[in-house]
Chain A
Amino acid sequence: MTRVEHLRNLALLGACAVALAILPHALTVYLRSFVLFTMMYVVLALSWNIISGFTGYTSFGHVAFYGIGAYACAILVADYRWHWLPTLGVGAVLAAVVGVAIGYPVLRLKGPYFAIAMLGAAEGTRVVATVWDGLTHGGLGISLPSAETSLETYDAMLVLMLLTIVVAYGVGHSRFGVRLNAIREDEVAAEALGINATLYKLTAFTLSAVFPAVAGGIQAYKVLYIDPPSVFFVQITIAMALMSMLGGKGTVIGPIVGAMLLYTAQELTWVNFPTAHLIAYGLFIVLVARFMPRGLMGFAIDRGWVRKGMIH
C-alpha cells in the first residue's frame, strides 16, 4: 500500500475515534454499553486474528487470557483496594507471561492438535480458577464494589480498541506480518528462508494474548461481578473465531466488520427471541463455516470489489 492509502486509513480511524468519543453523551445507558461490548468484541476478534488469521494457528482457547485479565482486575480491586486502571496493566503482563508459558510448548503442535490443546488449556484454567478458592473465591465469583462506571469503562474500551486496531494494522502491513503469513502458508519453507518461526509465532501469540486480557479487565469492572463459567466461557473463543471468519480472517478490516455485524445480530435475536436465540446462533455458526469460510472479504475479492493478495 502506498503512503497515501495508509494516511487515508489513519484519517478514517481518527474520524471514527472522534465520533465514538462524542457519541456516549448522546446515548442511553443501554446503548452505551451496547457500543462498549461491540468495541470489546472488535478487540477480541482482532487479537485472535493476529495468531489465528495472520499466522494460521487456530487458537481454540483464547478466552483463557480474557479470563485471566478479568480475574486480575477483580481480585486487585475487590480484595486489595487498587484503583482499577493499573490492574489492567497487571492483567496484560500476567497474560503475556502465561502466553509465553503456554505458547512456547503448545505452539510446537500443528493444526488440529494445537486447536485442541488450546481448548484443553482454557478449560484447565477455568478449573484452576474454580478450585483455587483462596485467590479467586472459587465458584462463588467476585463482586466488585459498585460504582457508576459506564463512561470510564467506555473511554477505556475505546482507547483499547484504537490501540488494538493500530497494532493489528501495523502488524499486518509490516515485514513481521508478511513473515507470519509466510509461516501460515508453509512453515518449513519459511524456516528454510531464514525466518525464526518459533520466535515469530511466540511473539504473535503473546501479542494476541495481551489485548483480550485488558478487555477482560475492563469488562469485569463494567459488569461488577465475575465467576469462572462466565469469563472462561468457551463461546467467547468461538465468537472471536466466528467474527474473524465472518468478516474475513487474515485481514484487519474483516474481524472489525465481523464483530460489529455478529454482535449486533446476537443482541437483536437475544432481545427478540429469548428462548430460541442460542439454537439460531448455533445454526448460524454452522452456516457461516459451511458456506462462507473465507468470509465477506473473500466474497468481495471474488467480485473484484477489493484488491486481491493484500491485507486490508
Chain B
Amino acid sequence: MERSDVRSLYLLAAFLVCAYAMPFLVGAWAGTVRLDERWLGNLATVVVGGVMQGGVYAMFALGLTLIFGVMRIINAAHGEMVMMGAYLTWVAFFYLGVDPLLSIVLTLPIAFVFGVVVQKLLLDAAVGAPELTGLLITFGLGLAMIYTAELIFTTDFRTIPYAPGTVQLTSAIAVGQNRVISFVLAVAISTAVYLFLKLSRLGKAVRATALNAEVAMVCGIDVRRIYLITTGLAAALAVAGGALVSIQFGFNPETGVLYTLQAFAIIVLGGRGHYVGALIGGLMLAVLENLVSLMVPNGTAMVELAAYGLMISVLLIRPGGLMGVKEG
C-alpha cells in the first residue's frame, strides 16, 4: 500500500470511531443513556440484533456489488427486487401455505429468470454507456415495479408472522427467533455464493470479467453470458434477502427505495466489488443503525440519516472503502 492509501485508511477508521461514538454522545446529552444493568442489557441486545440484521443486509448488498463490480452499473431497482422477494414470499405463505423458508427454493429460480430477462432486454445496452443510462433504466424499472405492486397489493403494510419466539442468549440478551433464523440462512447463502465465485470455473469467469472485461473476452470467456449470470444471481440474492426481510419487518411497495440506498452505503463502506467487504459493511451499518434507534431521539428518521451520512463520508474520505479498491 502506498503511504496516502494507508493514511486514508487511518482517517476512515478514525471517522468510523467517531460515527459510533456519536449516538452515545447524543444519547448522553438527551438522557437516554443510563449506565444501569437494564440499559446495558438493552445495549447488548441491540448490538446482537444489529449483527443478525447485518447478515441479511450483507446478503442483498452482495447482489448490488456483483452487478456494480462486473458491469459498473448502479442497479437502482435493487431495493425493489428485495421488495419483490418479500411479496413473493408473502403470496406463497398466505395463498399457497408454503413455509417462508421453503418458499425460497421456489422464488429463487423465478428471481434468477427475472434477472436474466432484465439483463437481456435492458441492461446489456447500458454496459459501457454513461452512468446515467443505467441509472435511469433501473430507476424506471424500479418505479414500474413499485406501482405494479401497489396496484396488486395496495400500499398497506404487510407482515408475515413467523417464528415469533425469542432465543435467550444470556439472562439479559434475548433475540427474536426469526432474526436468528434469518441470520443463519443469510450467512449460509452468502457463503455459498462466495464459494461459487471463488472456487467454481464459472465463478472465476465472473471475477475475471469484473477485473477486466476485455482481457476476459480475449481469454475466451463469453462476457455476455457472464453478464446474464451476474444479474440473475444478483436478483436471486435480492429476492432471498426479501424473503428474510419479510419475516422480520413490515413492508409495503415503497420500502424498497431505502434498501437500495442501504445496500449502496454498505458496498461503498466495504469497497465496491469486494465480497467480504459487503459482509463487514452490512454488519457495521446495521449495528450503527440499531445504536442510533436505541439512543437518539427521533430515532426512525435518524436511522436513514445514518446510512446516507456514512455513505457520503466514506465516499469523501476513501472512495475505495475499507477493503480499498483504489478508484475515484
A interface with B by C-beta (< 8 Å): 52, 56, 58, 60, 105-106, 108-113, 115-117, 119-121, 123-124, 127-128, 130-131, 234-235, 238, 241-242, 245, 249, 275-276, 278-279, 281-291, 293
- For this complex, 5 residue pairs linking A to B, each with C-beta atoms less than 8 Å apart, are A60-B135, A124-B312, A127-B308, A130-B301, A289-B137
Whole-angstrom distance between the alpha carbons of A111 and B131 in the complex? 6
Report B-chain residues with C-beta under 8 Å of the C-beta of A249: 132
Instruction: Tell me if B's interface is mostly helix, strand, loop or mixed.
Output: helix
Contact between chains at B147 and A113 (CB < 8 Å): no
Q: In chain A, what residue has the closest Cβ to B316?
A: A105
Report A-chain residues with C-beta under 8 Å of the C-beta of B72: 111-112
Contact between chains at A120 and B147 (CB < 8 Å): no
Whole-angstrom distance between the alpha carbons of A116 and B269 in the complex? 13
Contact between chains at A281 and B135 (CB < 8 Å): no
Contact between chains at A108 and B261 (CB < 8 Å): no
- A-facing residues in B301-326 (Cβ within 8 Å): 301-302, 304-305, 307-309, 311-312, 315-316, 319
Instruction: Tell me if A's interface is mostly helix, strand, loop or mixed.
Output: helix
Q: In chain A, what residue has the closest Cβ to B328?
A: A110
Partner of B130, one of A58, A108, A124: A58
User: In angstroms, how far is the closest chain B Cβ from the Cβ of A282?
Assistant: 3
What 0/1 readout, one digit per residue, does chain B (124-157) give for beta carbons within 8 Å of chain A? 0110011111011101111111111001000000
Partner of A286, one of B141, B147, B265, B308: B141
Q: Determine if B264 is an interface residue (Cβ-Cβ < 8 Å).
A: yes
User: Given the known A-B contacts A112-B72, A290-B122, are A282 and B140 also in contact in the complex, defined by CB atoms under 8 Å?
Assistant: yes
Contact between chains at B312 and A290 (CB < 8 Å): no
Q: Determine if B59 is an interface residue (Cβ-Cβ < 8 Å).
A: no
Whole-angstrom distance between the alpha carbons of A279 and B122 in the complex? 17
What 0/1 readout, one digit per residue, does chain B (234-270) give for beta carbons within 8 Å of chain A? 0000000000000000000000010001001100100
- Residues of B in contact, count (CB < 8 Å): 45
Report B-chain residues with C-beta under 8 Å of the C-beta of A121: 308, 312
Report A-chain residues with C-beta under 8 Å of the C-beta of B147: 276, 278-279, 282
Whole-angstrom distance between the alpha carbons of A162 and B35 in the complex? 62
Report B-chain residues with C-beta under 8 Å of the C-beta of A245: 132, 136
Contact between chains at A113 and B328 (CB < 8 Å): yes
User: Given the known A-B contacts A238-B136, A290-B125, are A279 and B148 also in contact in the complex, defined by CB atoms under 8 Å?
Assistant: yes
Report A-chain residues with C-beta under 8 Å of the C-beta of B264: 116, 120
Q: Determine if B170 is an interface residue (Cβ-Cβ < 8 Å).
A: no
User: In angstroms, how far is the closest chain A Cβ from the Cβ of B200?
Assistant: 28
Report B-chain residues with C-beta under 8 Å of the C-beta of A278: 143, 146-147
User: In angstroms, how far is the closest chain A Cβ from the Cβ of B61?
Assistant: 13
Q: Determine if B171 is an interface residue (Cβ-Cβ < 8 Å).
A: no
Contact between chains at B132 and A52 (CB < 8 Å): yes
Whole-angstrom distance between the alpha carbons of A52 and B268 in the complex? 22
Contact between chains at A58 and B135 (CB < 8 Å): yes
Report A-chain residues with C-beta under 8 Å of the C-beta of B315: 106, 109, 113, 116-117
Q: In chain A, what residue has the closest Cβ to B122?
A: A290
User: In angstroms, how far is the closest chain A Cβ from the Cβ of B255?
Assistant: 14
Q: In chain A, what residue has the closest Cβ to B149?
A: A279
Q: In chain A, what residue has the closest Cβ to B124?
A: A290
Report B-chain residues with C-beta under 8 Å of the C-beta of A238: 136, 139, 143
Q: Determine if B298 is an interface residue (Cβ-Cβ < 8 Å).
A: yes
Q: Determine if B74 is an interface residue (Cβ-Cβ < 8 Å).
A: yes
Partner of B129, one of A115, A242, A279, A293: A293
User: What 4 pairs between A and B have smallest CB-CB spacing?
Assistant: A285-B140, A282-B144, A282-B143, A289-B136
Report A-chain residues with C-beta under 8 Å of the C-beta of B151: 275-276, 279
User: Given the known A-B contacts A282-B142, A283-B144, are A293 and B131 also in contact in the complex, defined by CB atoms under 8 Å?
Assistant: no
Report B-chain residues with C-beta under 8 Å of the C-beta of A128: 305
User: Given the known A-B contacts A106-B316, A108-B328, A117-B312, are A285 and B305 also in contact in the complex, defined by CB atoms under 8 Å?
Assistant: no
Whole-angstrom distance between the alpha carbons of A241 and B243 in the complex? 33
User: Given the known A-B contacts A58-B131, A109-B319, A127-B301, are A116 and B311 also in contact in the complex, defined by CB atoms under 8 Å?
Assistant: yes
User: In angstroms, how far is the closest chain A Cβ from the Cβ of B86?
Assistant: 19
Whole-angstrom distance between the alpha carbons of A117 and B311 in the complex? 7
Partner of A124, one of B125, B305, B319: B305
Extra contacts besides A124-B309, A278-B146, A290-B133 (10): CB < 8 Å: A109-B315, A109-B316, A116-B74, A241-B136, A242-B136, A275-B151, A282-B141, A282-B147, A285-B143, A286-B122
Report B-chain residues with C-beta under 8 Å of the C-beta of A112: 68, 72, 74, 131, 135
User: Given the known A-B contacts A52-B132, A245-B132, are A120 and B302 also in contact in the complex, defined by CB atoms under 8 Å?
Assistant: no
Whole-angstrom distance between the alpha carbons of A283 and B144 in the complex? 6
